[in-house]
């Protein structure tokens, strides 16, 4: 009898088939067999992809239950990760705190490294330090990352009608915003910039440095809404901030190079060389129903970056060493 994954079309056989096809496509494209005007890129070894993958974790992904439709729920994804060798993931939601979901994931999948987060959107009454404090005390204490507003940020395209969460007052961080950073610093929680504008992200990073919060991530550096110049990335990195890159934008570009959401892989690879892998966390941001699974996405991320000349060592650093370093207490 078919299990839930098979009913949804997400089986290990599907994963292996899709990954093999993707890997073959990358290898053929690199050899110039699939056509196109681009010159051959670096050859990609499936063994090297697998070696990197089996050390990797996905720092940013989405699952159900959610309001936007997702490809699978937490348990279905966890099964896929266990079957394919992905070491763990950070569970992201725009609406809820995922720490309680991680509590159950860890009970069911104790060998999988899973972590919870929350985004300070309208669900929590905006930037609300009391909500962070309560969620951080949930049994298991699996809250590891606190995002400033994401879909409810003033900078986000979805809030152009003006109904956004207040983070600043006359250009300065509000008392509530500073209280959140102080709490995160005291409790070893990661502060992430969410969907704030670059200038706003710098103010968060500067306040975090002053308040001795040494776990800061600049979210979605590769996203068109929150894209950051190389010069600003270098400034952030010099402040000790990790820069979060996402494969999702590369995936959009490879599907349709005219997509307004897309980013050319060559551009992202150039950024990595300019900024340095020491300062980057590379995640998928997958979970959308029309995209590949997260494990497939992570393998595609690795293979595409190898093709673009990013080394095995750099990829291990961005998909394993750096995320686990900032997550450890």
Per-residue pLDDT of the chain (329 residues; tens, 9 = 90+): 444 444 444 544 454 445 444 444 444 344 333 333 444 467 788 999 999 999 999 999 999 999 999 999 999 999 999 999 999 999 999 999 999 999 999 999 999 999 999 999 999 999 999 999 999 999 999 999 999 999 999 998 776 556 899 999 999 999 999 999 999 999 999 999 999 999 999 999 999 999 999 999 999 999 998 999 999 999 999 999 999 999 999 999 999 999 999 999 999 999 999 999 999 999 999 999 999 999 999 999 999 999 999 999 999 999 999 999 999 85
Yes or no: is domain 46-327 CATH 3.40.50.2300? no
212: phi > 0 → left, psi -120 to 50 → alpha, else beta; which?
left
C-alpha 129/C-alpha 131 separation (Å) is 5
**Is 69 buried (19+), middle (13-18) or exposed (0-12) by CB count in 10 A?**
exposed
Q: Which DSSP state fits 19?
A: H
pLDDT digits (tens, 9 = 90+) for 7-66: 444 544 454 445 444 444 444 344 333 333 444 467 788 999 999 999 999 999 999 999
pLDDT digits (tens, 9 = 90+) for 202-239: 999 999 999 999 999 999 999 998 999 999 999 999 99
Three-state DSSP at 254 gives helix
This prediction's pTM: 0.87
Taken in order 152, 62, 180, 278, the sign of the CA dihedral is negative
- Do 63 and 287 meet the contact criterion of CB atoms below 8 Å apart? yes
DSSP string, 135-157: HHTSTT--EEEEEPPSTTSTTSG
At 44 the pLDDT is: 87
C-alpha 302/C-alpha 299 separation (Å) is 5
Give all strands (DSSP E) within 177-304, no chain letters: 190-192, 216-218, 242-246, 280-283
């Amino acid at each position: 009898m078919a299990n839930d994954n098979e009913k949804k079309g997400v089986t290990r056989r599907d994963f292996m088939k899709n990954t093999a096809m993707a890997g073959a496509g990358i290898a053929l494209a690199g050899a110039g067999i699939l056509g196109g005007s681009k010159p051959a890129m670096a050859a990609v070894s499936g063994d090297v992809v697998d070696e990197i993958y089996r050390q990797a974790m996905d720092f940013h992904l989405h699952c159900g239950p959610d309001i936007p439709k997702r490809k699978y729920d937490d348990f279905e994804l966890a099964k896929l990760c266990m079957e394919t060798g992905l070491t763990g993931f950070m569970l992201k939601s725009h609406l809820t705190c995922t720490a309680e979901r991680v509590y159950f994931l860890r009970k069911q999948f104790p060998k999988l490294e899973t972590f919870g987060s929350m985004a300070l959107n309208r669900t929590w009454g905006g930037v609300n330090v009391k909500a962070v404090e309560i969620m951080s005390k949930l049994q298991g204490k699996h809250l590891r990352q606190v995002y400033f507003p994401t879909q409810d940020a003033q900078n986000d395209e979805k809030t152009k009608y003006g109904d956004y969460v207040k983070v600043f007052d006359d250009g300065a961080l509000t008392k509530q915003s500073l209280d959140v950073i102080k709490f995160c610093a005291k409790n070893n929680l990661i502060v992430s910039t969410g969907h704030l504008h670059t200038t706003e992200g710098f103010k968060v990073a500067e306040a975090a440095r002053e308040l001795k919060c040494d776990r800061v991530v600049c979210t979605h550096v590769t996203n068109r809404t929150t894209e950051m110049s190389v010069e600003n990335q270098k400034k952030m990195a010099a402040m000790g901030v990790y820069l979060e890159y996402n494969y999702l934008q590369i995936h959009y570009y490879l599907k349709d190079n005219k997509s307004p959401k897309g980013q050319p892989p060559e551009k992202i690879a150039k950024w990595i060389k300019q900024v340095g892998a020491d300062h980057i966390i590379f995640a998928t941001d997958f979970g959308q129903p029309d995209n590949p699974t997260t494990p497939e996405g992570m393998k595609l991320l690795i293979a595409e970056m190898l093709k673009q000349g990013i080394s095995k060592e750099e990829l291990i650093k961005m998909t394993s060493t750096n995320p686990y370093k900032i997550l450890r207490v």
